Amino acid sequence: MKENKRKIEQFNSMNTVNIEGDKIVSSVVVLERTWEAEAVIFMDIKTFTIKKALAEVHIKSENPQTDNPDVIGIPDCEKRRSELKEIPELEGISGYIDGKRYANILLEYENGDKLKYMFLQCINGMIQAETYVYKEREFETPDSYNKYWDKLEENGCRMYSNIAPSDPPWMDYAGPITRKMNLFNRFKRVSIIEKQKAELKGEHTSELDIDSDIDIVASFTDSYHELLIMMSLQGEKLEVKSCTIDFVRAPGLACFSNGVHSENFIGEEFKGLDKRKLIDVFGKSQGCYHVVDIMLDVHRKLMEMQEMQENKYESK
């Protein structure tokens, strides 16, 4: 067995939420080989109404890879460009759960699908950061905030569907509730390693049988959670051959048993998946939002890779 070539793609995302005076600022940075950008929303600290939204995008090259393996990854410098833009359509809407339904207005922009992803991630960070401004949000006590989320998330995920006696109340787990500047942080990374192996068939022939497989490592780390997913895929339809899900930090005992859903994922084909199917596979109310979130990042990156490959063949 001779290994001919290995191709690596990576997706990196970072979300931070900070207090700046009477505003909360949620920013998301996405960094890939050809795309680098930051999206920022400024919100009123009491109402979470968006006061201003910005995005700065740096496009490094449409496709930096060449047929020469010695220069893979070197970008075409002439195709680099940067642009800072305001997003007035988001001003005045909620930067909270109910504001997500307006995200499709971003699809009218160039690379709107990526901008939509980034601003939704900004809102997700705001929801997580609310814990530390519960008083500004007019919750009288930490216990009243606990009760609000206990009701909102009843049977919403594996933890809230299987609360263990040893699980601490949310505000205890997130404590101490004394953050003054930096409220929340989240880092996500997806590494995709595509390997092409050529095996000599027969004793006196140079005919090659190409077997392509993909290894994936996806990590999710934020102020409250830490998990790692490892997978291997095979074939044109990206069939899942192996999958493991490991939680190493989480607010509830039930979170650590989310790995059971990895067995349901074996045999699924990534090419035919969407958000609804991923939610079904990973347990619905017995699953985890964050597993689905990072799996959607994996799916998005794989589909981009396939589209780029198809375009490359069509252009020849």
Q: Is the CB of residue 201 less than 8 Å from the CB of residue 209?
A: yes
The rounded distance, in Å, linking the Cα atoms of 134 and 145 is 7
Q: What is the per-residue pLDDT across 212-229, written as a single tens digit (0 to 9) for each?
A: 589 999 999 999 999 999
Rounded to two decimals, the pTM is: 0.88
- What confidence tens digit (pLDDT) does each residue in 105-132 have? 999 999 999 999 999 999 999 999 999 9
| Cβ(261)–Cβ(245) below 8 Å | yes
Number of H helices, E strands in the chain: 7, 9
Position 199 scores a pLDDT of 43
Q: Are strands 23-31 and 81-86 parallel, antiparallel or unpaired?
A: unpaired
pLDDT in tens, 53-86: 999 999 876 555 554 444 555 666 666 789 999 9
Q: According to the model, what pLDDT value does residue 181 have?
A: 96
pLDDT per residue as tens digits for the range 78-97: 667 899 999 999 999 999 99
Q: Alpha-carbon torsion 14, 255, 216, 294, what sign?
A: negative
